Structure 1
Amino acid sequence: MNKITTLLKRTLMTVLFLLAVSATYTSISGVQAEELTEWWDRYDHPFYSAFYGADAGTIEDSAIRETNLSLKSLKRHEAEVTSISSSYAESDSLTLEEAIDWTQYPSTVVTATGYTAGVESTGKSPSHPSYGITYSGVKVKRDLYSTVAADLSVFPLGTILFIPGYGYGVVADKGGAIKGNKVDLYYETVKDVYEEWGKKKVEVYIVKKGRGKLTEEELALLNEDETMQVFRQQYLKDTKS
């Protein structure tokens, strides 16, 4: 009787120990219980050793199985962050440059120059009736989607470009000196132009070709897209710092 009691106690302690180890492993690795069950059913089944051989349970095999489980967990995590969404973008460590595969879009190299709505760039003072109004009729704007000027024969009004280091630029304006692959990037002040951009050659990505028009409503919808707000907040935080 004592032997049976001792055996039952040892069995119970072993089961409790295995449950504790399972809970700890699941908490640390993120591997769910059903995955451990699947692993147990496959590799600890009585017929497994008979089918695969007596050495199927070696340390090396165990390590491989654990690695496969970790990779499975990692792949599941990667799948959760492949699209831009509010749930994915909870991590503010990713920038737009990092979050999207920009190679899926056609690209071209342009000479990009910063400009303002002021006299130094447009010859217009704040008292001018068309101050800050672009050729499309939209007011100049620096945001996640900013208004930019381009050669409309190259980039029609409404074209959406992604400019690394600047963000999205929506073609809303033109200029007499803007010919060919040239783009003027809007900034609110001359100080911003000099400190944040100046003039440089950069590879831009053509996200969407315009239809020759742009409205305030269309620009607002782009900037208020719920799935993009975390990136917008990153941008606003960076510009205010």
Structure 2
Amino acid sequence: MKKILMTIAVAILIISGISNPAAEAKTKTKTMHVSATAYNEMGRTATGYNYKKHPNAKSIAVDPRYIPLGSKVKIPGYGTAIARDTGGAIKGKIIDVHFKSRHQALKWGRKHLKIKVYRN
């Protein structure tokens, strides 16, 4: 009985077209070289996210033509952040990394990095 149930379960999975998660991850991920600056803001972002309520949130400002808002982005030396904001000076392959304090933002400075973008 167990063999029959197992065979049916496998057949259902094959028929339903379950895709390979590793292949999906490859198609939804891209790397790019960017210029990364830092900022310290405690208001609301372009997507409405409130930094006053979440001061330690890992977030970045992006040009949505290059990195879609809401995307997860892995940034060396910072961690994984969410693209939640835009800015007047953020054009092209530039990101602005959010920090809780002005001191942290100044310490980050400007860096040229290779980042990994996980698309929605």
Instruction: Within 5 Å, give how 1:28-107 maps onto structure 2.
Output: 105-107=29-31
Deviation at 1:169, TM superposition (A): 1.4
Q: Does 1:153 align with 2:68?
A: no
Confirm or deny: 8 A CA contact 1:142 1:186 kept in the other structure.
no
Q: Unmatched 5+ residue regions in structure 2?
A: 1-25
Letter in 2 for 1:205: K
Preserved CA contact (<8 Å) 1:159 1:209: yes
Identity fraction in percent: 31
2:82 alignment counterpart: 170
Matched, 1:114 2:38: yes
Closer, same or farther: CA 147–165 of 1 in aligned 2, 3 Å: same
Q: Does 1:184 align with 2:108?
A: no
Between structures 1 and 2, the one with greater helix share: 1
Matches within 5 A, 1:159-238: 159-195=71-107, 197-206=108-117, 208-210=118-120
Separation (CA, whole Å) in 2 of partners of 1:160 and 1:106: 11
User: What is the 5 A alignment of 1:12-31?
Assistant: none
CA distance in 1, matches of 2:110, 2:43: 21
Cross-structure match for 1:139:
50
Alignment RMSD: 1.7
- Of structures 1 and 2, the one with the larger relative CO (CA 8 A, separation 6+) is 2
List structure 1 runs of 4+ shifted beyond 6 angstroms: none
Q: CA deviation at 1:142?
A: 5.5
Gaps of 5+ in 1: 1-103, 118-130, 211-241
Secondary structure class of the residue paired with 1:193: helix
Residues paired across the two proteins, number: 91
- TM-score, normalised via structure 1 length: 0.36
Corresponding position of 2:14:
none
- CA apart distance, 1:106: 2.3
Secondary structure at the aligned position of 1:135 is classed as coil
Secondary structure at 1:106's aligned position in 2? strand
The structure that is strand-richer by fraction is: 2
Larger radius of gyration: 1
TM-score (norm 2): 0.69
**One-letter amino acid of the counterpart of residue 136, structure 1:** T
